[in-house]
Structure 1
Amino acid sequence: MPRIFKFFLVVFTARILGADDYGKFSFALAFAIFFLMFTDLGLPSIVTREFSKDRAQERHFPAIFALKIALALLTLLVTIAGSFLITQDPSVRLAIWILSFYVLSQSIRAVIYSYFHARQRMEYETLTRLFENLVLFCVGFFILFVVPSIQGISLTYAIAGLVGFISALILMHWRIAPIAFSFAPKTWRYFISLSWPLGLAGLAGTVIAQIDSLALGFFGQITQNGWYNAAYAIFGMTFLPGVIVLAGLFPVMNKAFNMSLEKFQKIYNLQMELMIFFAFGFFAGGLALASQVIDFFYDPSYAPAILALQILILANVFVFLSEPLNQALIVVNMQKKVFVAVFAGAAVNVLLDIVLIPQWRF
């Protein structure tokens, strides 16, 4: 449900702003998200894994939370400085600054969600995301119909992110554990020693997810960036069932691994069967109905997004099939292998963008 609100706002943003301005907004958001990788460090997955195995580890959360906030503030400064180098368009630069607050609120909140997952209280995450996206949806529609602009919709994201962050803090404080901070370099080193492969994998994953939009914007293909991100919004919705399966089974799989390999194998097999079903179901339907889907959600000016959607849906098959493997490797403490695989994919993605976008354009 939370993602559905956000999806429809994206659709109306694309329709009302048009491909050119929507391309600028997408470029600004991609640039802000790109720096998110410096605040993640792979900590959320490790927090879920370690806390679900041993509740005594929860005593380290104040130190981890303090580390995330410090990294977020440092990243904010880097993002603002980087905006002067990536674009000369003042409207895009201002959008980057505003969206940075939205992205960083998401990053800090991720470690709170990891604590929820460890306690298997995923409903708290659902509630905060629902509240955030409801605010995003309502305020966003008002802005789009009254004063449609890149800065207006960017400010909407920042407000909604703040609302979601405060909601998560309240639930954390009253339902899980009181909010606290501590300066504990020893704890930071311990958790980073576990999480750094996932942090690097997350860096590579962020590159894979955002580099196409950044490259299109960097090479001046702003309208094409709008088409691409219109298709990408639909592509993102097709993976929603996979996100639900992965988030729901990760703590269960982690506990099963500590009990017996047989239980671990059963849960892994169930997860993989579900992902195969989703992968090929969306693949068959997506290729056949891509034209109708784009025509339904967008206006005729977005017709070039049809081919992009078909290619993205093909790529989605590999995403569905690889994520259960990545999650299993994390559970068995082999996250370094995840980094190698994701880094290889990111390197190929960057190389292809550099070679193909200037030559073939969108």
Structure 2
Amino acid sequence: MTTVKKIAKNSLFLLSGQIISLVFGFFYFVYMARYLGAEDLGVLSFALSFTLIIGLLGDLGLSSLMTREVSRNQSLAPKYLGNIFFIKVLLAIVTFGVVIAATNILGYSEQTIKVVYLITLSNIATSFTQTFNSIFQAFERFEYQSIGMVLNSALMLIGIFFAIKQNFDLIYFAFVYLIVSVILLVYSFTFCLWKFAIPSLKIDWNFWKQTILESMPFWLNSVFVIIYFKIDMVMLSTMDGDAVVGWYAASYRLIDSLGFIPAVLMSTMYPVFSKLHVSSKDSLEFAFRKSFKILVIIAIPIGIGTTILAEKIIILIYSVEYAPSVIALQVLIWASVLSFINFTPATYLTSTNKQRTLMIFTFLGAILNIILNLILIPLFSYNGAAVATVITEFFVGLLMVYNIHRVQNLSILLSDVILKSLIAGALMGVFIFTFRSYTLVLLILFAAVIYFITLYIVNGFEKEDIILFNQVLGR
């Protein structure tokens, strides 16, 4: 199988899983949001963000490092699996201890503390699941990860619907997250051992030291990214209350849902980039440019369309109770656009052993985001938090692109792809604004057709793009 076809196959598996997962996830989150109301949704969203930040202690970047190293030498899988499993057991104990201390010191309500504890246990189980998913990625067998995604969302959908039907309170919803994450852990553990590798139970202390040191930049990068994407909800909870967090979370959930698109492509490209870094620098540059172009072309129309249709989307999905979420969505969608664009350079840096450089960039982004939140939240509440996220994402993206530009000239790529996508997006935006009162689904379909036809007319697709597309289709 050619590299192009393998990438297409893996992307298709992940994309299929993500789409099904997204559909299930959309329904269970919307019904949960409507049932719980803004205040309880705010508590749950705070718990998810708070535990996600502290839960980073449970991985230390080990999963990302394992994907890269095992993709280069698959015989290392048993050694990495065994040693990382034991490391994560210790990290899980530390993580839960930190959560207990933090929630009690900060003086949250009894209900909030219980929800945080349950979500923490769920995140710990997910951390172990990520270890086994790293093996699936390293062996480029993404179908197992895709099945896990679908299973996760299907079980969440069943659990949430059951909770609503039984008229359960917020605590049960947190229990659903825990139960589902444990089932997913059992699934990933079983298939990893059955199909790929049995963990070596021999502890290698020198390997521990070397691996942890090597993984720290991956971990710190994740810490800083999570801070500038999730710290705003924690700060809003403290400064403005649970209802405000609920409104903000409603918009943020839609943005998170879009994240599957770059995540799918770059999850499949990460092991490819890692291999090409060793075997062919020219092929790596080609793969980088095509990945970057695809995500820019997809991101820009999403940003323009969502900005125009934000009110219609929020009211349709969440009801009038969440009308205050509209402005936040109009701002946050551009953080999503920038995130799409930034995914490729971030993956490029980590796969070419420049994770320390990326760590510095995301550290600067985290500091900037905290400062901006401290300034903007008191002035503009959750809308200020949204602006802070956009500015931070733009800042980190500039740093990454400039760093890569020093190695390969990106001027033509940036100007050509972004300019032509904006031209096509502007025409599409005029169409959407003119006919915005029409049915949303039909409006989106026609807008997409107009965008891609315009992009083709302005030569947004090169001859080699058509060739690659035909290779994917097997022509």
TM-score, normalisation: structure 2: 0.74
Distance (Å, rounded) in 2 between the aligned partners of 1:96 and 1:32: 7
For residue 33 of structure 1, the aligned residue among 30, 42, 52 is 52
Where does residue 299 of structure 1 map in the other structure? 319
Q: Are positions 1:54 and 2:84 aligned together?
A: no
Greater shift, 153-162 or 20-29, is seen at 20-29
Who is 1:254 aligned against?
A: 274
Residues of 1 paired with 2:116 and 2:44: CA distance?
9
Matches within 5 A, 1:279-318: 279-318=299-338
Maintained 8 Å contact 1:40/1:202:
no
Instruction: State the shift of 1:221 in Å.
Output: 1.9
State the alpha-carbon separation in 1 of the partners of residues 199 and 153 from structure 2.
24
Corresponding residue for 2:284?
264
2:350 matches 1:350: no
Distance apart, 1:40 and its partner CA:
2.1
Are 1:150 and 2:167 counterparts? no
Alignment of 1:82-121 (within 5 A): 82-121=102-141
Shift of 1:147: 2.4
Q: CA offsets, 1:284-310, max 9 Å, x none?
A: 111111111101110101001011111
Are 2:36 and 1:17 equivalent residues in the alignment? yes
User: Quick one: percent identity of the two aligned structures?
Assistant: 25
2:264 paired residue number: 244
The 3 A distance-change label for structure 1 pair 140 and 25 is same
> Higher relative contact order by CA 8 Å / sep ≥ 6: 1 or 2?
1
Q: For residues 174-208 of structure 1, what are the alpha-carbon distances to aligned partners after superposition, in whole Å with 9 as ceiling and x for unaligned?
A: 11112454432211111122211111111111111
Aligned residue for 1:324? 344
| SS at 2:198 equivalent | coil
Q: What amino acid maps onto 2:56 in structure 1?
A: M
Whole-Å Cα distance in 1 between the matches of residues 350 and 318 of structure 2?
Answer: 39
Pair 2,222 (structure 1): closer, same or farther in 2 beyond 3 Å: same
Cα deviation for residue 4 of structure 1 reads 2.9
Contact 1:169-1:179 at 8 Å conserved across structures: no
Measured in 2, the distance between the counterparts of 1:192 and 1:126 equals 28
Contact kept? 2:78, 2:198, Cα under 8 Å: no
Aligned residues: 362
Aligned partner of 2:463 in structure 1 is none
| Structure 1 residue runs without a partner (length 5+) | none
Contact conserved, 2:42 with 2:242, CA < 8 A, in 1? yes
Cα RMSD over matched residues?
Answer: 1.4
The letter of the residue matching 2:312 is Q
In structure 1, distance between residues paired with 2:313 and 2:173: 24
User: Against the structure 1 CA distance between its residues 87 and 226, is the aligned structure 2 distance closer, same or farther, given a 3 Å change threshold?
Assistant: farther
The amino acid across from 1:316 in the alignment is S
Deviates more, 1:15-24 or 1:4-13: 4-13
Q: If you compute each CA radius of gyration, which structure gives the higher value, 1 or 2?
A: 2
Runs of 4+ in structure 1 off by over 3 angstroms are: 179-182
AA at the equivalent of 1:39: G
Query: What SS does the corresponding residue of 2:361 show, helix, strand or coil?
Result: helix
Q: Note if contact 1:221-1:361 (Cα within 8 Å) is conserved in structure 2.
A: no
Encode CA deviations 1:52-91: one digit per residue, 9 max, x unaligned.
1112322422111211222122211211221112343111
SS at match of 1:361: helix
| Alpha-carbon distance in structure 1 between the residues aligned to 2:117 and 2:48 | 10
AA matched with 1:49: R
2:262 is the alignment partner of 1:273: no
- d(CA) in 2 for partners of 1:209, 1:71: 23
Distance in 2 of aligned mates of 1:187 and 1:236: 36
Corresponding position: 1:221 with 2:241: yes
Give the 3-state SS of the residue equivalent to 1:41 in structure 2. coil
Matches within 5 A, 1:174-189: 174-189=194-209
Which residue number in structure 2 is paired with residue 231 of structure 1?
251
Kindly provide the amino acid, as one letter, of the partner of residue 130 in structure 1.
Answer: V
